[in-house]
Amino acid sequence: MKDYIEVDEWKIIENGFNPHYNKISESIFSLGNGRMGQRANFEEAYSGETLQGNYVAGVYYPDKTRVGWWKNGYPEYFAKVINAANWIGIDINIDGEQLDLAKCEVQQFRRELNMQEGYLKRNFTAKTAGGKIVEAEAIRFCSMADDEAGAIKYTITPVNFSGPVTFTPFIDGDVVNKDSNYDEKFWDEIKKESWNDGGFVQMRTKKTGFEVATGMLIAALQNGEPIKLHTQAVSKEKYVGAKFKLDAVQGQSISVIKYAANLSSQNYPAAELVVNLKETLHQIASKGFDTMLKEQADAWAAKWKHNDIIIEGDASAQQAIRFNIFQLNQTYTGEDDRLNIGPKGFTGEKYGGSTYWDTEAYCVPFYLATADQKVTRNLLLYRYKQLDKAIENAKLLGFTNGAALYPMVTMDGAECHNEWEITFEEIHRNGAIAYAIFNYVRYTGDETYLADYGLEVLIAIARFWSQRVNWSEDKQQYVMLGVTGPNEYENNVNNNWYTSMLACWCMKYTIEVAEKVKAADLGKYTELINRINFNGQEETGRFKDIIARMYLPYDEKRQIFLQQDGYLDKEQILVKDLPAGERPINQKWSWDRILRSCYIKQADVLQGIYFFEDQYDIDTIRRNFDFYEPRTVHESSLSPCVHAILAAKLGDEARAYEFYLRTARLDLDDYNNDTEDGCHITSMAGTWMSVVEGFAGMRVKNGKLSFDPFLPGKWTSFSFNVGFRGTLIKVTIAKSAVDIKHLSGPGLKVMVDGHDIDVQPDAGAKITKVVLAPPPIA
């Protein structure tokens, strides 16, 4: 745990130079705009510890995994969103010495991520080995208004000298991934060009053939006045630079403005990339840096209007929740249904930028409430468009008749993860994809999605489950063998309750949706079932039989759902009794020891109870929570949020808050010692869930938003904006009152603590107050 980040409600601040934390800061201060993103690397050269990272969404490489043995069905590759051209670089040479903070005496240093307006600012004062002191300020952002563009304003002021300073703004495509399996370089140069005030490099990925053209236009100001540039082109492999020398004057600033853009062949024919790149560069440069920065602030203001959470009385919690919301918005904007949310977003290489079940299980609730419904629809369409590949994937494993197994990890729909226990066995992801359809329709009321796309996906998933189970003569029930539940600290288990329960639910929901679509639009229904050869009666007959006769392990003595067969045979030592020095077990123990232990990585049975809370009475929820949580090590960042929500549901406010704290500042405080690899983007949605579904108890019940709130001890109030079916409201939970304020859209009926509230667009805003019930005794 670190605490070098200063608390501020709208900013992330690092004050003082911490080279040993640099990789952590590079993750935390990352920038993105949904289409591209980057770690907070320095613009000038830096020979200290760093992980360079610039990423273009959707551009990936299938990196062959280093494993010497294969089994049939293994995907050969682990796909990666690869490090793309560095467009931030500006080499600075002060009278023969390269400016490099690792080689300077850093007299002052401050990094600031302005979350309100969406930019990164860095100031420092450095003394070179030769004794020259400069002050510098660098401001940069990935533009939300022009999502293929970014800009930098880099200013230096000589403090104790006058003399020549050389600047070389550059684009460098000669980059590598730290995690590349064979130290392979992923890009080939296609072309490049330099001109007096800029240049570009166009590169193509090996194997996948994506082309990306990355270019820059530069301008300079001396003492605030624009100057005419006379540059000298610097050209190396995959690199263009524009070098110019100025006579710096003590106390007078020199600013270099770098306009940059990244255009990808996902959006243009490769042959037209350059012409479009040049046009984009000229467009942004003619707007100018200040206008771009203003547009950035406006774009972020619009986002914050929809999804801010305001916490009074706890600045550190305020900073944390905004950081989580900010990073989620930087990662995914919902503009493009080919893109998705990697667990590390644009902040690092880990998890390869690929799509996991995290999206459906954790991110969907966030985007449903905080963005236009088309954003979540695009996340669903992403999977719809990959249905063929999911069917192909299941076919490779021996499934038939249009059964689909969505991949655990994917870039383009194909499975690209190759640990057998995950790829073949962690099949619950299929259920999360079906659940997201249900969640979307429940939240938005958009039933057209079901007829147009949802039902087709559901049938394919239900077909998979109906083939994945088998009849046990012994039990006279259906069983599901050889699976891995969300708790990845168990592999190849039989009858994981969560997976089997979810499979039944998927089949049940598919039957319901099929009936609904058939009744609503017989034409569409008939077209679909003919196209996919769905034998309604026979297939739903099998689904029903499985639902009725599925084996779901249950422990009568403890009256809990059993995580899987044999779980109780394990030695039951609670996590609290594990010596602190042995945790986290995934770093301290052998994998073998972990697999044989009773320790649970993340919510498993409790994930199922969270999804289908309405189906269980409070005592059932409590018994399962009280049994499983003490055995859970929460070594996945996705774990605490589910526990926070359930603890809140059970009225255990103190524990709900404790779980929330584990997720909220996970990256800011480097809680798990792994922020240097990148931030935990998908679990950030879980932090939002802890506040909105946990503390505010927000649910959708019978087509209405409902709240059952409490106020965490330290806070004086908290409020958040949520959108629901075209209406935007602001919910404020204070010590003795809940205010629901109408912000825009039609009137809305909501429930608070079981009371019906009419939230109407009045003159001004209607405020309804309901006194909170006293907190339940834990």
CA 595 to each of CA 256, 484, 487, 490, 535: distance values in angstroms, whole numbers, following the listed order:
56, 11, 10, 5, 41
CB of 122 or CB of 344, closer to ligand BGC: 344
Q: Note whether 328 binds ligand BGC by CB under 6 A.
A: no
Report whether the peptide linkage leading into residue 169 is cis, meaning its omega lies within 30 degrees of zero: no
Binding mask 37-76 for ligand BGC (x = CB under 6 A): ----------------------------------------
Site for ligand BGC in 636-655 (CB under 6 A): 636, 638
Lookup: tokens for 484: 């891995």
CB of 202 or CB of 675, closer to ligand BGC: 675
Lookup: tokens for 473: 């003569």
Cβ-based burial of 129 (10 A; exposed 0-12, middle 13-18, buried ≥19): exposed
CB closest to ligand BGC, residue no: 343
* Residue 272 main-chain phi, psi, to 5 deg: -105, 10
**Eight-state DSSP code of residue 148:** T
Site for ligand BGC in 354-393 (CB under 6 A): 356-358
* Gap between the Cα atoms of 663 and 648, Å rounded: 15
CA 213 to each of CA 171, 200, 412: distance values in angstroms, whole numbers, following the listed order:
10, 7, 21
CB of 241 or CB of 486, closer to ligand BGC: 486
* Gap between the Cα atoms of 525 and 61, Å rounded: 38
User: How remote is the C-alpha of 701 from its chain's centroid?
Assistant: 27
User: How remote is the C-alpha of 291 from its chain's centroid?
Assistant: 29
| Nearest to 30, CA basis, from 366, 349, 354 | 349
CB of 459 or CB of 646, closer to ligand BGC: 646
Supply the minimum distance, in Å, between the C-beta of residue 519 and ligand BGC. 36
Q: Residue 11 pairs with which residues in a beta bridge? A: 114
CB of 498 or CB of 715, closer to ligand BGC: 498
Active site residue 488: yes
Type of residue numbered 762: D
CB of 202 or CB of 672, closer to ligand BGC: 672
Question: Which residue has tokens 């539940």?
Answer: 485
CB of 86 or CB of 632, closer to ligand BGC: 632
Supply the minimum distance, in Å, between the C-beta of residue 593 and ligand BGC. 18
CB of 112 or CB of 488, closer to ligand BGC: 488
Q: Note whether 682 binds ligand BGC by CB under 6 A.
A: yes
Supply the minimum distance, in Å, between the C-beta of residue 74 and ligand BGC. 19
Binding mask 461-490 for ligand BGC (x = CB under 6 A): -------------------------x-x--
Supply the minimum distance, in Å, between the C-beta of residue 685 and ligand BGC. 11
Type of residue numbered 391: I
DSSP secondary structure, 591-644, as one string: HHHHHHS--BSS-SHHHHHHHTGGGS-HHHHHHHHHHHGGGB---STTHHHHHH
Supply the minimum distance, in Å, between the C-beta of residue 354 and ligand BGC. 9
- The answer to whether the CB of 743 falls within 8 A of the CB of 752 is no
Residues 33/38/42/43 CA torsion (nearest 10 deg)? -70
- The answer to whether the CB of 414 falls within 8 A of the CB of 407 is yes
Would strands 767-770 and 211-222 be described as parallel, antiparallel, or unpaired? unpaired
- The answer to whether the CB of 12 falls within 8 A of the CB of 113 is yes
Provide the H-helix boundaries in 171-288.
273-287
Considering only 53, 169, 173, 343, the residue that binds ligand BGC (CB under 6 A) is 343
Supply the minimum distance, in Å, between the C-beta of residue 410 and ligand BGC. 12
Site for ligand BGC in 602-621 (CB under 6 A): 602
Supply the minimum distance, in Å, between the C-beta of residue 586 and ligand BGC. 9
CB of 359 or CB of 732, closer to ligand BGC: 359
Supply the minimum distance, in Å, between the C-beta of residue 21 and ligand BGC. 23
Question: Which residue has tokens 């392979």?
Answer: 184
Considering only 124, 187, 351, 478, the residue that binds ligand BGC (CB under 6 A) is 351
Supply the minimum distance, in Å, between the C-beta of residue 385 and ligand BGC. 21
Strand order in the sheet with 704-707: 699-701, 704-707, 748-752, 755-759
Supply the minimum distance, in Å, between the C-beta of residue 682 and ligand BGC. 5
CB of 198 or CB of 640, closer to ligand BGC: 640
Q: Note whether 415 binds ligand BGC by CB under 6 A.
A: no
Supply the minimum distance, in Å, between the C-beta of residue 324 and ligand BGC. 15
CB of 82 or CB of 633, closer to ligand BGC: 633
CA 324 to each of CA 91, 328, 668, 729: distance values in angstroms, whole numbers, following the listed order:
33, 6, 10, 21
* Gap between the Cα atoms of 268 and 282, Å rounded: 18
* Residue 40 main-chain phi, psi, to 5 deg: -85, 55
* Sequence-separated contacts (24+) of 287-291 with Cβ below 8 Å: 289/151, 289/153, 289/257, 289/259
| Nearest to 680, CA basis, from 392, 363, 430 | 363
Question: Which residue has tokens 């990094």?
Answer: 111
Binding-site residue total for ligand BGC (CB under 6 A)? 12
Site for ligand BGC in 245-304 (CB under 6 A): none
Supply the minimum distance, in Å, between the C-beta of residue 637 and ligand BGC. 7
CB of 317 or CB of 379, closer to ligand BGC: 379
Type of residue numbered 705: L
Task: Using DSSP, state whether 203 is helix, strand or coil.
Answer: strand
SS3 content of the chain, % helix, strand, coil (to 5): 35, 25, 40
- The answer to whether the CB of 302 falls within 8 A of the CB of 371 is no
Among residues 26, 148, 419, 488, the one annotated as catalytic is 488
CA 191 to each of CA 24, 56, 268: distance values in angstroms, whole numbers, following the listed order:
35, 18, 16
| Nearest to 606, CA basis, from 571, 630, 577, 570 | 630
Binding mask 737-766 for ligand BGC (x = CB under 6 A): ------------------------------
| Nearest to 98, CA basis, from 55, 163, 147, 45 | 45
CB of 451 or CB of 638, closer to ligand BGC: 638
Site for ligand BGC in 488-527 (CB under 6 A): 488
Stretch that binds ligand BGC, among 82-90, 350-358, 543-551, 567-575 (CB under 6 A): 350-358
Supply the minimum distance, in Å, between the C-beta of residue 683 and ligand BGC. 7
Q: Which positions are annotated as active-site residues?
A: 488
Site residues (vs ligand BGC, CB under 6 A): 343, 351, 356-358, 486, 488, 601-602, 636, 638, 682
